[in-house]
Amino acid sequence: MKKQTKSESKCSENQNLPAQCGLPSVPDRQLDQNLDPGREFLIRYIEKKWVNNTILHYYFFSSPSSWRASDNQKQAVRNAFKEWKQLGIGLQFAEVNKAEDAEIRIGFQRGGSWSYVGRDAIDLVNNVNDRTMNFGWDLTTSYGKDTALHEIGHALGFPHEHQNPNAGIIWNVDEVNRVFSGPPNNWDEAKIYHNILRKVSSAEVDGSSWDKNSIMHYQFAAGLIKSPSTYQNKALIPQSGLSDVDKSEIKKFYPDNSQKQLVELKPFLSKIVKLSAGQQIDYVIKPLMSRKYNMQSFGSMDTVMVLFEDDNGTPVYLEGDDDSGTNTNSKIEYRLISGRSYYLRMRLYYSTGSGQGGVMLW
């Protein structure tokens, strides 16, 4: 992933690179085979991202003992969450004491570092006793600090940057397989393909150019890359820390709009929704009567809709629906209590025509 100290960098030039993040292999989300390519593009671009203004809760496993970490290792992860947050993003992070309260569940088993990407942590990992993130080496070094930032980047929904199809990388496949099948990674060819040789969908990067200094990029020894030819005789060692592109990309998906006045969604009064792909709109609901309510989008839109309850200023997740790639609309049915406040957040994947639709509470 990232550059270490000058002495460690010199070691990298001598081909002795550290272990790298190995993402779990997960199935692609199934979409209609006849889906319009432009529509599929936008769904893939956004599908693993969280709705903005979500609080992501993280938990450190204390058992089994092989998953347990010392206080300084856990503090390194806390510091990495803080560094992402200090960019001024709309997401919040909170440490919790119970695994069942966390979207991100962290272990420290030696040997490999990895994370599920974005919403895969809740969509694919249903057992609260399973990890959604793991750290396999010391996080108090310069490289360890970048490892923590890297894995959290995955948890926020970002793929490996060296798999960006716009990078134009041509690999020395035999050499990549030889190097990564040996120590310190010891990966089989399927894992090497999944984490290095495979190009992510162009939708996942939305045309962004290659950022070789991204926190989401591996280090590569000289000779693993045929093109650009620079790296035939030179190691590719990204600069340490978050790159400028990392910072702009995270703010694009998760802008800080905490001071924005929310529009109130009232029963039987529809609201026009006019958004661009990836944009989000938030509503506040203040029910005057305790009963079961329906919340639904209308029009030819692909959206993800999530309902939260305000608990003394903290939004608590209640329910969600994702209608992307279907002919239905996102809909939530939930009992709301009089005198309480709720937030309905809706992010747009795709819309036909003018990008306009509607939402209603009844």
Q: How far apart are CA 56 and CA 155, in angstroms?
A: 10
What does pTM read for this prediction? Answer: 0.86
**Residue 349 DSSP class:** E
Q: Per DSSP, which regions of 150-270 are E strands?
A: 170-171, 225-227, 263-264
Average pLDDT over residues 291-317: 93
pLDDT in tens, 95-148: 999 999 999 999 999 989 999 999 999 999 999 999 999 999 999 999 999 999
Residue in the structure block whose two tokens are 């020395």: 172
Residue 209 tokens read as 């150019």
Quick check: helix, strand or coil at residue 60?
Answer: strand
Which uninterrupted H or E stretch holds 247? helix 244-253
More reliable by pLDDT, 203 or 58: 58
Express each pLDDT in 155-210 by its tens digit: 999 989 998 888 889 999 999 999 999 999 999 999 999 999 988 765 454 556 78
How do the domains of the chain map onto residue ranges? 6-253, 263-361
What topology is assigned to 6-253 in CATH? Collagenase (Catalytic Domain) (3.40.390)
In percent, the amount of the chain with pLDDT more than 70 equals 90
Residue 39 region by backbone torsions, left for phi larger than 0, else alpha for psi between -120 and 50, else beta:
alpha
Q: pLDDT (tens digit, 9 = 90+) per residue, 238-262? A: 999 999 999 999 998 899 987 788 9
Q: Please state which architecture CATH assigns to domain 263-361.
A: Sandwich (2.60)
